Amino acid sequence: MSSILESAKALQEELLQHRQKIHQNPELGMALPKTCEYVKNQLKEMGVDVTEYGNSAFSALIGDPSKGKVVLLRADMDALPIKEETDVPFASTNGCMHACGHDIHTTMLLGAAKVLKMRENELKGAVKLMFQPGEETLEGAKYMVAQGVLENPKVDAAMMIHVVTGIPLPSGYIIIPNAGASSAASDTFEIVVNGKGGHGAMPESSVDPLNIISHIHLSLQAIISREIPAAESAVVTVGVMQGGTTFNVIPDTASMKGTVRTFDEDTRIFIERRIGEIASGTAALFRATASTEYVKGCPSVVNDESLVHQMYQTIGNQFGKEFIVPMASAMPGGKMMGSEDFSFVTQKVPSVMIALSMGNSEEGYAYPMHHPKAKFDQKDIYKGAAIYAQFALDCLNQK
Ligand SMILES: [Zn+2]
Ligand SMILES: [Zn+2]
């Protein structure tokens, strides 16, 4: 039988058709009826069974879990509320856009499904394909994990690919992370200071929450500059400060909202605690009270060391080591400050997340993901399908 890469390459034309169909009908969040119908029909034609989790979430199983391990391959399927401004002939016209390349992930996983289905009898175990809604809203993976996507059969290892465009890397190059965290955890917080309102001419009879919230804002900066080790990356950003209505009235309350990005779980917990302490401590200092609400959003994607090693082998054997770019040299600090909700999977099972370049500006792909003009070089779609399939095979063949 031909190699996985050859089998995938033979599907290229078919994959382009899938991608165009999905790209033309972008859907948002947790409701992707057209996309799901299309993908499930393709799987049905291949003879692959689907398990539904509700809310446009489903998985498909290829192989026999009683023969060995279960490897999960994940693709997200949702688009963004952006009006497409590309010149591709299959551009979306419904006001939404696959500007993050999730249409390509879905297509690549369909390709992997076909390639793996052809070899189903040889599989030493099973491959579970996770088709996920709601990545951009960071709710889909969490939902599917809660609905049991990692059980029945139990998943032993998980992998995902994200395509990238508009970065300096030429098309076809693959970014592999180091073991450990490779995307930031993203949380939000809101602080409300309760002072005592009054006449602006007699501040002594008031407790001014605007003065207090200013002190809190300045003090929060000390968490990063004075309390986190310099080698540790973290961000505390206040994006909203509000209070008061007119020039001569001291308001009762003032509030602020912000976001926290971290890579290390202990750092995350530390910052959450310190924001609360600084808010209430500063408020108490000035005779007020403050309440802090801290909402944990999405954790960090954490890459498993042996799967990272496995990925180097898989890609090196398929394409040659020269196509591998360590994330340490592709991104500042070797990590992305953005978030990826595959992290909810990586919290539960050993996992790895890689990126596949689909064009840089010299090749005519100048715009980054989430941009209305973002385009992707389609010529390497089959490579993504091949990586998905080969990685799963290599994992199953590992002793
Ligand atoms: Zn995105
Ligand atoms: Zn994305």
CATH of the domain at 279: 3.30.70.360
Q: What's the mean pLDDT in 336-352?
A: 94
Tokens 């006449």 belong to 199
Q: Is the pLDDT of residue 207 over 90?
A: yes
Output the CA 160–ligand 2 centroid distance in Å: 11
In terms of residue numbers, what domain contains 227? 185-298
Range 334-360 average pLDDT:
93
Q: Are residues 132 and 207 in the same domain?
A: no
237 and 358 share one domain: no
Answer yes or no: do 287 and 314 share one domain: no
Query: 100 C-alpha to center of ligand 1: Å?
Result: 4
- Backbone torsion region of residue 254, taken as left when φ is above 0, otherwise alpha when ψ lies between -120 and 50, otherwise beta: beta
Specify whether the CB–CB gap between 151 and 349 falls below 8 A.
no
Preceding amide of 153 cis, omega within 30: yes
163 shares a domain with 87? yes
For residues 146 and 246, membership in a common domain is answered with no
Task: Give residue 345 CA to ligand 1 midpoint distance, Å.
Answer: 17
The b-or-e profile of 90-120 (16+ CB within 10 A means b, else e) is eebeeebbbbbbbbbbbbbbbbbbbbbbbee
Q: Could you give the CA distance from residue 325 to residue 215 in angstroms, rounded to a whole number?
A: 44
Tell me the per-residue pLDDT of 79-106, one tens digit each, with 9 for 90 and over. Answer: 999 999 999 999 999 999 999 999 999 9
Strand order in the sheet with 253-262: 234-243, 253-262, 185-194, 289-298
> Are residues 70 and 201 both part of a single domain?
no
pLDDT value at position 277? 98
Minimum-distance ligand to the CA of 76?
2
Query: Could you give the angle at the alpha carbon of 216 between the alpha carbons of 222 and 255, nearest 5°?
Result: 135
Do residues 384 and 253 both lie within one domain? no
- Per-residue pLDDT reduced to its tens digit, 352-374: 999 999 999 999 999 999 999 99
Question: How far is residue 74 CA from its own chain's centroid?
Answer: 11
Structural domains in the chain (count): 2
Q: How far is the CA of 168 from the centre of ligand 1 (A)?
A: 18
Tens-place pLDDT, residues 125-147: 999 999 999 999 999 999 999 99
Phi and psi angles of residue 94, each rounded to the nearest 5 degrees, phi first: -100, 10
Same domain, 309 and 380: yes
Domain C-terminal end among 251, 274, 298 = 298
Ligand nearest to the CA of 105: 2
CATH of the domain at 135: 3.40.630.10
